[in-house]
Chains A and B, each alone.
Chain A
Amino acid sequence: MDQVKELYADSIEFGYAGKSRLLTGIYLTCQTGDIIGLLGRNGAGKSTLLKILFGSIKAQHSHMLINGRKSVKPYLSGKVGYLPQDSFLPTSEKVSKLITLMIEDQANRHTLACDAKIKPLIDKKVYQLSGGERRYLEICLLMYQPTDFLLLDEPFTGLEPIAVQRISNLISIFAKTKGFIITDHSYGDVLAIATQILLLQNGSCHRIKQPEELVRVYLPERADDQ
């Protein structure tokens, strides 16, 4: 039987210098097969939490285990990938070159190069791609990494519905072998694919068991209710 792969984070505390604590005692676990939707208002600390889980920001206090092993900078373990809010690809490079740079396995490289959406872009430079194409390429490049967990920061923001659908399908396919933590303000798209919903509020994570709870604690009140 395969060993359960788990990203475990506990007691994460973080605050920017001179400001009050942003995250206070965050606890979360993510296993392969999980798609965790992390929701919260602007400035709640969603992106900061993902960066801490990835290891690019150091928390004042944290206890993180990747597959049972303690990890201070999880990205160095090669088990965690991270999609930042802004595009991380160098704009002057060709798509084909980036695939060669980023994907180690030749079979995976070939699979990605033959992807119906990537194939027409292969000779284009990154700056020539639309926002949706660029986001799709970035997510594909991360999907084909040999990681167990992917942290996606606003993968759907600013994308047309067809691009959102394409990315959602991709996440659902790879969720068989990876665990996902997704944060996005387009909560409908997150709810559609998430297996768990966490709400980041007042520095801590609350599990949302029923989507209806979101109406009470996250969504704005409707004008006709007032």
Chain B
Amino acid sequence: MSAANPANTSGHLLEIKDLEVGFRTSRGEVKALNGINFTMDAGETVAIVGESGSGKSTTAAAIINLLPGTGRISGGSVLFEGRDLAKATRSEMEEIRGKHIGYVPQDPMSNLNPVWSIGFQVEETIKANGLASGRKEVRAKAIEVLQQAGLADAEKRLRQFPHQFSGGMRQRVLIGIGLAAKPRLLIADEPTSALDVTVQRRILDHLASLTETDRTALLFITHDLGLAAERAEKLIVMYKGKIVEAGPSLEILQNPAHPYTQRLIAAAPSLASRRIQSAGVSLGGIEHDVASSAEGVDLIAAAETRVEQLGAAAGARPAIEVDNLTKVFKIRTGGLRSENFTAVDDVSFAIPKGTTMALVGESGSGKSTVAKLLLGLEQATSGTITIEGRRTEKLKGRELLALRRAMQPVFQDPYGSLDPLHNIGNTIAEPLRIHGVGDRASRRDRVTELLDQVSLPRVIAGRYPNELSGGQRQRVAIARALALKPDIVVLDEAVSALDVLVQAQILRLLADLQAELKLTYLFITHDLAVVRVIADNVAVMQRGKIVEAATTDEVFDNPREKYTRDLLDAIPGSGIKMGI
């Protein structure tokens, strides 16, 4: 595998020709990729975008021949430096992986083996690729690799285990592993999707500088258009296993030719947020064709509904009032000692009835702890929570049950929060059963009503969670939360795991439901772009404290705190002008 491979006549580093991938199922082979063609040259950064299920991750896996389950390459070729990897033997692939093609996986939480130390996992990469020999040299190389990936105190951390690392640090380890052998091509599959915007930016900057120094080609897979446009010269848009559009990034974003790309751009909240703002400020001067993007209109409509709501709610008693809320955890520092960690530090806020407050901040800022305290899943150390005029800290038994009835949660992971063994109808009816509402027949009617409310077909009641898409599952979770006709819904990262198109639909649904049912939302998220389209008020949390709280427009237009500005600047694609 030298650079001067005589068979490499095309001169491209990577050339994918008519690539087809099929998955064997009980009903025959299902095609996941249908004739993919693209090329990459040394030092080039190419981004593949598309929603989940579009085949972008499958393309990445096919290149290094690590297709999951029953997947196999059923046609075409993957020419890497002129050599067809689709026909390579197992040992040839083992030689190429790691050494010539590096890979940075999507989810830093599940991609490191929990039972081995970080050092062990980096060192085995170094040994497998023959980068160093001898215990001391391997160790030194491992430290070097981790330091390059941006882990400053690498030497101390070698003996630590993945669970002792934060998501960002784990992703740095994975990037270090991927780049350890200075491969000519690095495939990064959603390398930062699981991370906060600020961490995301630091990691991507770092990745860019590393690949630049070594002229490593970077194949970057993401569902975030803004991110792709900011980071890649070339953009490939995939839809249902096909490339629908490819070309220079800015050109595609400003003049999308394919309707799917147009929808994708319209739905991306990081870009849409600019539009809502301009719609409010200068109604006459909008350049884009509103009618061409359905989701865009909905978001504007949602924003208008919100303004009306806000006017009505002013002066009324707040639905939620939180005063001087503090939560201290004991964390173990080794041995039998422990020290106090203040997760929530003297937090106060009030949410007027029928409005939405967004609580934003990086992970670890305490925003989810606030949600847990509010829902009564954790006990506050001090401070009070007043819901609909009633203090909650001393509620027990029946009163607590009544409180839960008025306040329902929707959680982040639509895969994890539905019981796979219960069908959708039973899942939605469960809160009704627990609270003893109605009889069997009336509960069934209510389930049908709820399914209509969240725009799901009624037949879905008999299906099971694994038969549903992520967006449908999140709708089910919302329907379940609404079953008891609550006044307050706590949404903890409720749309963070969803694709842009689905995200836009869910946000629209939430806005509609709020207008219809006078709901009060506490919306917890790390994604400021989403905040712009859904929230009336924003509270920014940093290290357990609320550092800034104001109306959404104030926070976005005149952020007072540096931390808020950093969060805003870190929204990918915020500096790029979009054209639809």
Same complex = no
Question: What residues make up the interface of A, taking CB atoms closer than 8 Å to B?
Answer: none
Question: What residues make up the interface of B, taking CB atoms closer than 8 Å to A?
Answer: none
